[in-house]
Amino acid sequence: MEQNIVFVALGVALVLFVWGKPRYDLVAILILIFLVISGVVPPEEAFLGFGHPAVITVAAVLVVSKALESSGMVNIIVRLMDKVGKNLSLQVGVLSALVAIASGFMNNIGALAIMMPVAIQVARKNNYSPSSILMPIAFASLLGGMNTLIGTPPNIIISTFRAAELGGRFRMFDFGLVGIFSTLAGLVFISLVGWRLLPKRHPAGDEEDFFEIDNYLTEVRLLEGSKLIGKTVRDINYSKDYDIKVLGLIRHKQRIHAPGMRFGLKEEDILMLECQTEDLEKFTSENKVELVGEEVIKQAEEGDIEIEIMEGIVQENSPLIGKTAASMSLRTRYGVNLLALARSNKTIRERIDHVSFKSGDVLLLQGKSPDMSETFQVLGCYPLAKRGLDIGKPRRTILALGIFFLSILAVIMELLSVDVAFTFAAVLMVLSRVLPIKDLYTSIDWPVIVLLGAMIPVGEAFETSGAANSLTEQLLVLGGGFPLFVVLGGILLVTMLLSAVINNAATVLLMAPIGIKIAASLGVSADPFLMAVAIGGSAAFLTPIGHQSNTLVMSPGGYKFSDYLKLGFPLTILILLVVIPLLLLFWPP
């Protein structure tokens, strides 16, 4: 009786997961509650899954990933990409390789989120559609996650299943024995052939304005030791490293309009610049300059108050209209600094604190994090979507990487379990202020956590009720008489197909017990079957709903549902052909 109840529950869950309504975390909770009411899952065990090591590890890895994003790594990668040539295959290959490597050690979404704006910028600079590069790097994030224990939640889940079944977990790099060769094969295919299979589509919405804002007007002061001292205006205006225009210069409180190209720069000069935020970030980080607007509030960084930079657009009823930053006393009355200002189709040549605001102006404001939302409301500004603006923010890249690699080392040397090591790393990231404390909980993908916590008891019920044994017997009957590599391939293929339509963590939770049962029935090691399930759970290439990485690039890439099959289907076949012999070689049954 319990078997039938579990089969019905899982059948309904699969249908709802595919349909997508309600959301997958709500589906998981509903199925769990149904099994509790039906008496299959004891009430006292209903929520034990939320304390499972796999759930804790996934949450901690998401926090660490967010901290690495906040540490300044994006700017470093952009600078590296500037040195890559214009060959599209090379650009796709380099970006995909970077995403794959990063995905092995951080959350797939985090790795992709770092590289997506870089990829869009590279595509625009080289005049080709972002659709040629976004899906390849999304798939690369899935390939890279196959290589380490922490690369993707399915690997962590599979490791816990092995611990329960065989008494020992998979180690950090055990997945790499098969994963590295699979990843290399996938990257070569994506770089040389895969991107050519994709249609040249444009992003949803106005393609010219996607991720873009009109040039900002801002002011920077040359600090002692700046490498710009002694250089000329021409060196900035015609730099190959960034697109910045010097509109004016203030020296000893005297304004110099339109300085000549050979005008030499000195310490304490204030430059009036027109540029994009990306170029401004690079310019300030490389040349030892400070934004003039930072002078007052920057002192608060030494205390416990967090400083944040936000973009906002001046609304029609804003009290700012017709007034200037100086006349409004933005610093003293509202506690914010005006760092930069952008106005459509017009170049501003006044000092920014003396520019009269107009409806539609985009302001770059700096202030105390807890007050920013309320301040924006008072000023009548609509906050724009945050784009990871780190202008003037102290870089903590080395500190973040140090904490991260120490946690990796602790896991490799088996000093700490993976859940404890990364929870400790997440706490250190916050205490060291690499990650603002306000981002601690917002960096966690709570629907995924709820899905895992709810599905773990469901997966256990699938096994304890006898449903897993029953399904295993049916699969063995269907695969009876076939060679082991065919049965192993069948497990991998079924897992890959399921991961295309339901969450990969849920797929692994369902398929891992089946793989273990089949291995036991055949009298062979469960390791190759568990590895097949882990890889199949990561190889969600066929649909945009199979993994969040796929969904993330759908809109900016302008993709349709069917576009994923054009690259995903041949890549799925390739992985299937590559993985089976590797499993038999490195994990002999």
Q: Where are the domains of the chain?
A: 216-294, 298-383
Q: Which of 372-376, 420-424, 558-562 shows the lowest mean pLDDT across its residues?
A: 558-562
Closest to 550 measured CA to CA, from 499, 587, 589:
499
d(CA 324, CA 345): 20
| The domains spanning 216-294 and 298-383 adopt the same CATH topology | yes
> Quick check: 297 pLDDT over 90?
no
Higher pLDDT, 367 or 527: 527
**For residue 366, what is the enclosing H or E element?**
strand 362-368
- Phi and psi of 381, rounded to 5°? -115, 140
d(CA 228, CA 435): 31
**pLDDT of 113:** 67
**Region for residue 253 given its phi and psi (left: phi exceeds 0; alpha: psi -120 to 50; beta: otherwise):** left
Residue 522: pLDDT band (50, 70, 90) is confident
Average pLDDT over residues 72-93: 74
**pLDDT of 211:** 37
Q: What is the mean pLDDT of the chain?
A: 81
**pLDDT of 532:** 94
Token code pair at residue 587: 């994990």
Average pLDDT over residues 120-127: 76
Q: Is the peptide bond before 383 cis (omega within 30 degrees of 0)?
A: no
**pLDDT of 298:** 46
CATH number of 298-383: 3.30.70.1450
Residue 110: pLDDT band (50, 70, 90) is low
> Quick check: 478 pLDDT over 50?
yes
**pLDDT of 206:** 41
Average pLDDT over residues 335-358: 78
**pLDDT of 222:** 92
pLDDT digits (tens, 9 = 90+) for 30-58: 989 999 999 888 998 889 888 888 788 77
* Contacts within 8 Å (CB) and 24+ apart, 49-54: 49/452, 49/453, 49/454, 49/455, 49/456, 49/457, 50/449, 50/453, 52/160, 52/452, 52/453, 52/456, 53/156, 53/160, 53/417, 53/418, 53/419, 54/153, 54/156, 54/157, 54/160, 54/419, 54/452, 54/456
> Quick check: 203 pLDDT over 60?
no
Average pLDDT over residues 319-331: 88
**pLDDT of 346:** 61
CATH topology for the 216-294 domain: Alpha-Beta Plaits (3.30.70)
Please, which residues bridge with residue 342 across strands? 216, 362
Residue 380: pLDDT band (50, 70, 90) is confident
Average pLDDT over residues 369-381: 83
Contacts of 186 (CB under 8 A, 6+ apart): 139, 140, 143, 571, 574, 575
> Quick check: 107 pLDDT over 70?
no
Higher pLDDT, 456 or 234: 234
**pLDDT of 464:** 78
pLDDT digits (tens, 9 = 90+) for 128-184: 888 889 999 999 999 998 998 888 888 888 998 888 877 788 888 899 889 999 999
Residue 301: pLDDT band (50, 70, 90) is very low
> In 263-368, which residue ranges form alpha helices assigned H by DSSP?
277-286, 325-328
**pLDDT of 119:** 82
527-538 vs 176-192: helix crossing angle, rounded to 10:
30
**pLDDT of 468:** 64
Average pLDDT over residues 537-556: 79
Residue 385: pLDDT band (50, 70, 90) is low
Token code pair at residue 440: 């601690």
**pLDDT of 205:** 45
For every residue of 220-285, DSSP letters joined together read EEEPTT-TTTT-BHHHHHT-SS--EEEEEEEETTEEEES--TTPBP-TT-EEEEEE-HHHHHHHHH
Share of the chain above pLDDT 90, in %: 19
Higher pLDDT, 211 or 343: 343
**pLDDT of 257:** 77
**pLDDT of 530:** 93
